């Protein structure tokens, strides 16, 4: 039986390259592609893949939040993070969200194949560079209270912040999340209070710096 894979990346050229390489493997079937996190979550429900190859920096809903939502509803699905980010914070939050593997985009395709085989055996796979980051973090015993957007804000507040940073109006965010404009305004006020940031420009810079969205 073929392993069903869903590709999630906001760059079509990356998805096309991955599809071409993966489909050369007779044991792998690419069942779909998504260009942002929210579409990924929707396609998981529709296509029931066994593996999602997930970018982190995607518009609308980033890969970390998408992974969190997917694993919450489909704990058997294996998410493989394939990102350009090797920073400890990205790796840590992606693994906390439930990713089964983390690779860098400059890895060889053989490494991705190895990761697929590994996670299908219910094991975790980290590329050597990422394993180094995790070990270094462990040795340094970084405090668990290290503040980040993922510890300071709720899931919904992070969604609202990302959409604000991507230029959506209060009305557009309300429509997108199926809530009232008053609810969005409350979230925005809470976000600004918790972060002690009181302008959209500074919130946008913060969201980009924390990996919620990209330029």
The answer to whether residues 49 and 29 belong to one domain is yes
The answer to whether residues 154 and 135 belong to one domain is no
Q: What are phi and psi of 102, to 5 degrees?
A: -140, 120
Give me the mean pLDDT over the 176-191 stretch.
Answer: 95
Fill in the DSSP letter of residue 146: -
Tally of domains within the chain? 2
The answer to whether residues 132 and 184 belong to one domain is no
CATH number at residue 162: 1.10.10.10
Burial zone of 177 (CB within 10 Å; 0-12 exposed, 13-18 middle, 19+ buried): middle
Rounded-to-integer distance, Cα 25 and Cα 18, Å: 11
The answer to whether residues 62 and 125 belong to one domain is yes
Q: What is the pLDDT of residues 121-145, one digit of tens each?
A: 999 999 887 877 676 666 565 555 5
**Crossing angle of helices 12-22 and 109-119, rounded to 10°:** 70
The answer to whether residues 66 and 89 belong to one domain is yes
Length of the chain: 215
Q: Which of 195, 125, 134, 136 is closest to 160 using CA atoms?
A: 195
The answer to whether residues 43 and 132 belong to one domain is yes
Which structural domain range is residue 175 located in?
149-209
Confidence of residue 114 (pLDDT cuts 50, 70, 90): very high
The answer to whether residues 156 and 68 belong to one domain is no
Q: Is the pLDDT of residue 48 over 70?
A: yes
CA 124 to chain centre: 17
The answer to whether residues 66 and 165 belong to one domain is no
| CA-based end-to-end distance of the chain | 40
Q: Which of 99, 103, 107, 105 is closest to 126 using CA atoms?
A: 103
pTM of the model: 0.77
Q: Which of 214, 201, 209, 193 is closest to 37 using CA atoms?
A: 214
Question: Mean pLDDT over all residues of the chain?
Answer: 90
Q: What is the pLDDT of residues 61-112, one digit of tens each?
A: 999 999 999 999 999 999 999 998 888 788 889 999 999 999 998 888 999 9
Burial zone of 29 (CB within 10 Å; 0-12 exposed, 13-18 middle, 19+ buried): middle
- Evaluate whether residue 67 is within a structural domain: yes
Which of residues 123, 140, 157 is at a domain's end?
A: 140
CB of 71 within 8 A of CB of 63?
no
Output 32 or 134, whichever has higher pLDDT: 32
């Amino acid at each position: 039986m073929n392993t069903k894979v869903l590709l999630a990346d906001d760059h079509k050229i990356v998805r096309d390259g991955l599809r071409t390489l993966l489909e050369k493997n007779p044991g792998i079937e690419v069942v779909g592609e998504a260009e942002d996190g929210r579409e990924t979550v929707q396609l998981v429900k529709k296509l029931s893949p066994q593996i999602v190859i997930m970018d982190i920096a995607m518009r609308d809903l980033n890969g970390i939040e998408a992974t969190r939502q997917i694993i919450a509803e489909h704990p058997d699905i294996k998410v493989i993070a394939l990102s350009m980010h090797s920073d400890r914070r990205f790796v840590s939050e992606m693994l906390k969200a439930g990713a089964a593997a983390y690779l860098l985009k400059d890895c060889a395709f053989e490494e991705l194949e190895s990761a697929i085989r590994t996670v299908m055996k219910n094991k975790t796979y980290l590329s050597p560079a990422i394993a180094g980051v995790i070990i270094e973090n462990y040795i340094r015993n970084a405090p668990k209270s290290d503040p980040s957007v993922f510890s300071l804000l709720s899931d919904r507040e992070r969604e609202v912040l990302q959409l604000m940073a991507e230029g959506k109006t209060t009305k557009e965010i309300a429509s997108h999340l199926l809530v009232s404009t008053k609810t969005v305004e409350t979230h925005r006020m809470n976000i600004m209070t918790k972060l002690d940031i009181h302008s959209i420009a500074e919130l946008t810079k913060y969201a980009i710096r924390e990996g919620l969205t990209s330029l």
